[in-house]
Structure 1
């Protein structure tokens, strides 16, 4: 379309030029003062928009062509990408199948090796246990034999040492009995009549003193005589003493209350036999820390009172 317009304009320009020259020749009258320049300017003015439109049309065609070519290239690139993806998936699938087969083979081989190793370990363990049992049995037999020999030798030595120690102890015991009997006889001879009567009960001697003294003085008197205030190991000793004293006399006994509230002897031993009166010990005001005997029963009492007392002396 643009080409037809251009051709038409060219024809118009040619016509104008010819028409102007003709009039100038024949009639010496020129319609246009400068026909070539004026016609050229007119034609250029008329052709300029057409040229611009033509240039834009050509540019548009080139753009459309470039877009088409770009789309074609993009489609080709997409197709290549799709093909590459399909090929990659195929390769991955092949690789996965191959890896799975290799893994299954590897697992099977590993299991077989483990089974073989377990069987071999079991056989070695059975052999090791058998060897260990044999060694243990031999060692045990040897140990028992050695132990019996050592025990026999130790027993013979122990019996010999024990017999020697027993002989020494018997000699010491005999000497102690002789010394104790001499001391006891001397004590009895030196003892004033106020300590009579003397009771021999079991392995002990009990001295009944009717002279009244404080608890502290009574303890001191008994120590000076080689004994201590009386305590009782059992009911037989207690009954034997109470049958031989005035039951209506108060007698200090060798018990004191300790920090725990328990009664113990001068040696720090807990009283093994104590026959309390009903309601005793009552520890009135928390000060009754000593014990006296009255009417065949025991009472707790303050230690400041003065009463008769009973001493004891062990025979051995």
Structure 2
């Protein structure tokens, strides 16, 4: 009976002022029966404040409470696992960002290398184009030399002087065309003097000058326009400067004369080269 009285006293002391002095008096006449009821009535305010069900002996309520605790523990575990996963994802994202930064640096370096290579390639290409242009020019010069075999630079143009086979004016003109040129017209007095140094004296050489349209107007065979230069020789006594049917011009000893186109003479071809 003494132990029941002590239990009631301890419970009363632990109520923290919630019970009155009269409530803490435990008058025991039947300790086993009275103390149990007293303790329950004394602890009722504590149970109510803790919101604990009064019927704790109900197994269904205990099962539900345990189920709630288990679910709470499970959710806590899942939350912890999710937080760990988020932390891992953050670490992976940080690593990925570092890798992307490294890739950007590498791409920038490659872009600079490509730009440098493009500049070098452009320089090499320009150099090759320049060399190719020089080679094409040399080839063209070689082709010109082959095409105009026998032509030589005299004054401002290239000339071929036929010294062996006289022909009439029309055949001489066709021969010059087959060689890639035309019967010559003379640019100026300097060209006339330079050509004369390569001609036989007292010998007629056909020029590409004619007066077919108008015997008083002499045109260039190569251009169809007025000739750039004429230097007529002295008229022989008793003759005229432009006799009838004398529509073709020759050069003789540095002078020009109109003669019949049917005659056979040596001739001079020209090309611009």
TM category (shorter chain) comes to 0.3 to 0.5
Structure with bigger RCO (C-alpha 8 Å, 6+ apart): 2
Q: Normalising to structure 1: TM-score of the pair?
A: 0.39
Richer in helix (by share) = 1
Higher Cα Rg, which structure: 1
Q: Normalising to structure 2: TM-score of the pair?
A: 0.45
